[in-house]
Chains A and B, each alone.
Chain A
């Protein structure tokens, strides 16, 4: 497996996705500014959440899309450069983890800048956004990373099934992906409602949630590898 580990591929994917994530941050920052403006001129108490929570909504979706697009933009690209499917797989798995960590780190740093900018306008960063302990934020950061990474792997899975098989199997994979997303929500303690049916969120510690999501990601990675190891690369 080591022979298939290609640092150039990891670096290339990481750089490319970092460029894509600029769009994500640009959109999020614009939305955030609009929120702050709304809150500033609003008459009710500020309802805005911490930046990290804000990002926790959008980063997984971004990674899901990255996962789907990875198949259609990079599989043929690497094959035509004489690289193996395993190189593509290992590169994708590592680079996606690196990009989720980077997004997590930036999301942790941006609230500091946000606070400084707000103070320039004479607005105090609301206390309810700051009261958690350092330990809490570390755990939340880890959960953020593993959740976003899992979404990437789910997107990758959907992309691989669409690419390898026909459209109806792709639809089935999308449905399976949706079930996994619901499962992730339930593991993270959120209640999910589908067609009136409630799935109560589990009251797990962050540590337990991280372990379960890690196992889920590992399982999905194995499925992704099985899908890609002898996949036919399309010429058109």
Chain B
């Protein structure tokens, strides 16, 4: 079943500080969304609103056309995994915690959970408070995947994992994405490592959504031109320049915006070296602070 999560004009204010500013987007099932932003950009705030941890100051969030906050059926369709510290819990033991997940999560797949527990070597006989950082991260991942909720949010939970385990998670996520028509929202600043996972990019900067496009369209907007100063300048005259580097008579300019096939052809004819830039670079340039 296809689901639609709609955020309309979402703003969030903490005292005098505005954390989110007029965020509007529509997210759909079957896609992996990469929510990218620098520290303090408002990623966790936005995701906590989607998970109904709080109400926005302004705006509405709907799930399949119904208001999500306090909706008894739709709230169960959302899983929010974040860098959570387990301390003074009502249920201390990981095994017992899983028992309670089984009771409350209608889509929870126990067999899949067992597979993930052995794959990520999670010791579920231990109390959650005794888990190492890596084990907590693996536990979050296992929960998020096995919950099989239509909307699954991972807010940088993978940061506690070592590189090989993170790779295992990426592979498992892609397999699960193939098997089930779920919506995943992955918040990260490990952009280069995770970009192959994303179908759609959302970039938050200072609480504003500065990019909301499918991965290909978005990454095609970033182009690097290298060549003689005058020719590069001629090509980039009316473009949004993200970055410039000069070396003698040669210049490398990174632009953001529509760069048609004809532009590529013309650039080649004028001896310009043209290459697409990575999502990581695009993100860095778009969210770079002026000194």
Contact = CB atoms under 8 A, between A and B. Distances in A.
Interface of A: 3-4, 8-9, 12, 16, 72-74, 77-87, 229-230, 232-233, 235-236
Contact of A12 (B85, B88, B100, B105): B100
A82 B104 contact: yes
B291 interface: no
Contacts of A83: 75-76, 104
Given A77-B89, A232-B54, A233-B54, A84 B71 contact: yes
B103 A8 contact: yes
The residue in B82, B90, B103 that gathers the most chain A C-beta atoms within 10 A of its C-beta is B90
5 contacts: A74-B90, A84-B72, A235-B53, A235-B84, A236-B85
Name B's interface SS: loop
Given A9-B104, A83-B76, A235-B48, 9 more contacts: A8-B103, A73-B90, A79-B52, A79-B53, A83-B104, A86-B70, A233-B53, A235-B44, A235-B53
Interface string B128-152: 0000000000000000000001000
A82 B75 contact: yes
A59 B77 CA distance: 39
B103 A12 contact: yes
Interface of B: 44, 48, 51-55, 69-73, 75-80, 82, 84-85, 88-91, 100-101, 103-105, 149
6 tightest Cβ-Cβ pairs between the two chains A and B: A82-B76, A81-B104, A232-B54, A73-B90, A3-B72, A233-B53
B82 A82 contact: no
B40 to A, nearest CB: 15
Contacts of A3: 72-73
A230 B55 contact: yes
A16 B90 contact: yes
A77 B91 contact: yes
Contacts of B104: 8-9, 78, 81-83
The residue in B69, B103, B105, B149 that gathers the most chain A C-beta atoms within 10 A of its C-beta is B103
A3 B79 CA distance: 20
Contacts of B91: 77
Nearest to B107: A82
Contacts of A80: 80, 84
Contacts of A74: 90
B86 to A, nearest CB: 11
B27 to A, nearest CB: 17
Given A16-B90, A86-B70, A235-B48, A81 B101 contact: yes
A2 to B, nearest CB: 9
Given A82-B104, A82-B149, A77 B90 contact: yes
Nearest to B53: A233
Nearest to B103: A8
A73 B100 contact: no
A119 B100 CA distance: 45
A81 B100 CA distance: 9
Nearest to A8: B103
A235 B155 CA distance: 12
A120 to B, nearest CB: 39
Contacts of B90: 16, 73-74, 77
Given A16-B90, A77-B90, A232 B103 contact: no
Given A16-B90, A81-B105, A87 B85 contact: no
B54 A73 contact: no
Contacts of B89: 73, 77
